[in-house]
Amino acid sequence: MTEQASSPTGIFSLELGEGPVWNPAKNQLSIIDIFARTVHLLKVQDGEIIKTDSFDCEGDVGAALPTSDGGFVLCLNTGIFFRDSDGQITKICDLPVKGSEFRCNDAKLGPDGKLWVGIMDYEASSGRGSLWRIGRNGQYQMLLDNLTIPNGMDWWHDEFWFVDGPAEQISLYKWSESGLEATSRKIPTNGTPDGLTIDSKGEIWLSLWGEGRVDHFDSSGKVIESVSVASPHSTSLCFAGEKLNTLVMTSAKFAMKAEDLETFENAGDVFSYQANSLGRASHFDFN
């Protein structure tokens, strides 16, 4: 079953829109534009996405993650920072991978209260990407190496589902305080996987770069629903709104040719879809 996402918000034309996170405590949706170095703040009202504010970052921003104390963890190419509720910035640590050719990509706060963040080089070179776990004290642990584009991730109990693009699969790991243990289970994707989220039933929703759609997989790994968006590069997604049933989907116009941008005038917009599934609250503790 394929559904069409609603009309775009009309207030965005993001170069590389990514990282949507819903914060129910503030009725606030945050979205980043990586190379524009901007974090956009929005609200969701009756399924409609409304822009309220934004702030700029001092570096390319791979993720901006709201915390329970009203701040944001900022994952920049220049390091990991904390922005408090008054807008004051403090540095947590340098990137654990050294070199100006590296940047942060996707990241989330985990159920362990740590920042889980992927780091890659700007050329997306095979084998140069890695996944790290970082605490508020700046201590870090490498979880995976020899990656290319560390991307979508989410947890379901002791399961950790993870995308290393452009490989067309979602890989399952078992996670614990000590790290990650690989399993043999992988879900094939019909296209290049990007951001993902897991709903309240433990089912995966996946954005597909270059395909202009989001796929919904059941617990067996079968696609049971697809949502199309009017932008080829579907990048990431989250469930938002009071009932956590508004699926918010980001997109990008990054790397698109001028003639393609004329064809896809909504490239880089933010889309929404009223899902029959319910999402789960994100993790907001950072320690």
What is the CATH number for 187? 2.120.10.30
In a domain, 279, yes or no: no
In a domain, 21, yes or no: yes
Q: Could you tell me the end-to-end alpha-carbon distance of the chain, in angstroms, rounded to an integer?
A: 42
Count of structural domains, the chain: 1
pLDDT at 46: 79
In a domain, 281, yes or no: no
- Look at residue 5 and tell me whether its pLDDT is greater than 80: no
Of 49-53, 132-136, 196-200, the one with minimum mean pLDDT is: 49-53
In a domain, 207, yes or no: yes
pLDDT at 165: 97
**Mean pLDDT over each residue of the chain, to the nearest integer:** 95
In a domain, 285, yes or no: no
In a domain, 282, yes or no: no
- Look at residue 1 and tell me whether its pLDDT is greater than 70: no
In a domain, 108, yes or no: yes
- Look at residue 267 and tell me whether its pLDDT is greater than 60: yes
In which residue are the tokens 């702030």 written? 55
Q: Tens of pLDDT along 147-199?
A: 999 999 999 999 999 999 999 999 999 999 999 999 999 999 999 999 999 99
In a domain, 161, yes or no: yes
Q: Can you tell me the distance from the alpha carbon of 285 to that of 287, in angstroms, rounded to the nearest whole number?
A: 7
Domain of 60 in residue numbering reads as 2-274
- Look at residue 8 and tell me whether its pLDDT is greater than 70: no
